[in-house]
């Protein structure tokens, strides 16, 4: 990787690209890696300008692959127009050029877990000092709502994104557009977890309405309306969940309502 990390160079993309490149290199150096087959190197313009002159590089960041046979082609230059500067896509490019598979391991981020622990501790301490009424805590409806909220949060990937330190969204360096959903099956943005939580909440609400429609003693018209609303919520938002999953895993065979 050829870059220019000093602030006076005004390279907006260089810092993020260097972080992704570091993740790629660290992932290859993990346990069981044959570390003498592929080497990763980073060259800064202010430290080695002669390298930039020799390779005739005029823009940064740039990524090159140099084989042991010294056969250099255009495919040995990372195409920034066709690929994003993320560790997963760089790993695919490395596999194409070297036939060495690199499984990306995002650095563990414990700050989110620490914040969650502090929040739970503060909530518990506040409840203790305010002496919550035991009847309100043991209330069946409150316990059911809290349980559903916990399940929805855990199944949406919130904890996974906190530990992995995933970004909230990702901005395309070429167009400037924001991506709220990662197209990789092994990655998930924080905004994506909120979308999944919303879909799961709507599916859950639909199931609750169906249950109430079947067991309630209300008049028939209200029960039919509840049943229709429940069916629509479950069908629409479950279909969107499948659509989102198929977007990340195109080979997934099952679908519902629409592709």
Q: Is 7 within the bounds of a domain?
A: yes
Are both 78 and 153 inside the same structural domain?
no
pLDDT at 109: 61
Q: Is 206 within the bounds of a domain?
A: yes
Residue 79: both structure tokens together: 């195409």
Q: Is 259 within the bounds of a domain?
A: no
Q: What is the CA radius of gyration of the chain?
A: 25
Are both 141 and 242 inside the same structural domain?
yes
pLDDT at 2: 92
Taking Cα atoms as reference points, which of 30, 38, 84 lies closest to residue 61? 84
Of the three residues 98, 132, 151, the one that is the final residue of a domain is 98
Are both 51 and 135 inside the same structural domain?
no
Are both 73 and 122 inside the same structural domain?
no
Taking Cα atoms as reference points, which of 200, 183, 179 lies closest to residue 191? 179
Are both 238 and 141 inside the same structural domain?
yes
**Can you state the angle between helices 87-98 and 12-28, rounded to 10 degrees?**
60
pLDDT at 142: 66
Of the three residues 66, 98, 130, the one that is the final residue of a domain is 98
Quick one: pLDDT band at residue 144, thresholds 50, 70, 90?
Answer: confident
Quick one: pLDDT band at residue 43, thresholds 50, 70, 90?
Answer: very high
Are both 12 and 118 inside the same structural domain?
no
Quick one: pLDDT band at residue 150, thresholds 50, 70, 90?
Answer: confident
With a cut of 60, say whether residue 9 has pLDDT above it: yes
Are both 125 and 239 inside the same structural domain?
yes
In this predicted model, which residue has the larger pLDDT, 27 or 111? 27
CATH of the domain at 54: 3.40.30
Name the 3-class secondary structure at 3: strand
For every residue of 76-118, DSSP letters joined together read: GB--TTTS-SSHHHHHHHHHHHH-------PPP--HHHHHHHH
Q: Is 258 within the bounds of a domain?
A: no
132, 188 Cβ separation under 8 angstroms: no
Cis bond leading into 61, ω under 30°?
yes
Are both 85 and 162 inside the same structural domain?
no
Residues 186, 179: Cα–Cα separation, whole Å: 16
Q: Is 77 within the bounds of a domain?
A: yes
Quick one: pLDDT band at residue 5, thresholds 50, 70, 90?
Answer: confident
Mean model confidence pLDDT for the chain: 81
With a cut of 90, say whether residue 254 has pLDDT above it: no
Residues 159, 241: Cα–Cα separation, whole Å: 19
Q: Is 149 within the bounds of a domain?
A: yes
Residues 168, 122: Cα–Cα separation, whole Å: 25
User: Which of 248-252's residues contact partners 24+ apart within 8 Å by CB, and which partners?
Assistant: 248/181, 248/182, 248/183, 248/184, 248/185, 249/185
pLDDT tens column, 165-189: 777 777 766 666 778 888 777 778 8
Q: Is 254 within the bounds of a domain?
A: no
Please report where in the chains the tokens 């399940």 appear, as a residue: 151
Residues 45, 2: Cα–Cα separation, whole Å: 7
Residues 106, 103: Cα–Cα separation, whole Å: 10
Residues 43, 36: Cα–Cα separation, whole Å: 20
Residues 124, 142: Cα–Cα separation, whole Å: 16
pLDDT at 69: 80
- Kindly give the pairing relationship between strand 2-3 and strand 178-179: unpaired
For every residue of 112-138, DSSP letters joined together read: HHHHHHHHHHHHHHHHHHHT--HHHHS
Are both 26 and 93 inside the same structural domain?
yes
Q: Domain range spanning residue 71?
A: 2-98
pLDDT tens column, 68-123: 887 888 889 898 887 888 888 899 999 998 888 888 877 666 666 676 777 777 76
Are both 94 and 118 inside the same structural domain?
no
pLDDT at 182: 82
pLDDT at 259: 66
Are both 115 and 188 inside the same structural domain?
yes
pLDDT tens column, 111-143: 666 767 777 777 666 666 555 555 555 566 667
Of the three residues 70, 98, 126, the one that is the final residue of a domain is 98
Residues 190, 206: Cα–Cα separation, whole Å: 25
pLDDT at 231: 92
Q: Is 195 within the bounds of a domain?
A: yes
Q: Count how many domains the chain has.
A: 2
Are both 177 and 218 inside the same structural domain?
yes
């Amino acid at each position: 990787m050829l870059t220019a990390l000093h602030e006076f160079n005004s390279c907006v993309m260089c810092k993020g690209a260097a972080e992704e490149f570091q993740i790629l290199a660290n992932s290859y150096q993990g346990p069981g890696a044959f570390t003498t087959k592929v080497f990763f190197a980073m060259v800064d313009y202010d430290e080695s300008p002669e390298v930039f002159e020799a390779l005739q590089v005029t823009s940064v960041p740039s990524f090159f692959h140099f084989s042991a046979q010294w056969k250099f082609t255009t495919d040995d230059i990372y195409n920034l127009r066709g690929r994003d500067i993320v560790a997963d896509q760089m790993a695919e490019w490395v596999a194409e050029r070297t036939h060495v598979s690199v499984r990306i391991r995002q650095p563990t981020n414990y700050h989110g877990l620490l914040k969650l622990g502090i929040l739970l501790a503060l909530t518990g301490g506040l409840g203790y000092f305010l002496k919550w009424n035991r009847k309100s805590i043991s209330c069946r409806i409150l316990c059911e709502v809290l349980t559903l909220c916990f399940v929805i949060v855990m199944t949406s990937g919130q904890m996974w994104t906190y530990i992995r330190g995933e970004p909230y969204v990702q901005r395309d360096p070429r167009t400037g557009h924001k991506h709220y959903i990662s197209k990789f099956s092994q990655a998930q943005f924080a905004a994506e977890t909120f979308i999944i939580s919303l879909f799961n909440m709507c599916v859950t609400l639909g199931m609750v309405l169906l249950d109430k429609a079947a067991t309630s003693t209300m008049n028939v018209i209200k029960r039919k309306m509840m049943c229709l609303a429940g069916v629509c919520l479950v069908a629409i938002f479950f279909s969107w969940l499948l659509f989102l999953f198929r977007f990340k895993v195109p080979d997934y065979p099952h679908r519902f309502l629409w592709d």
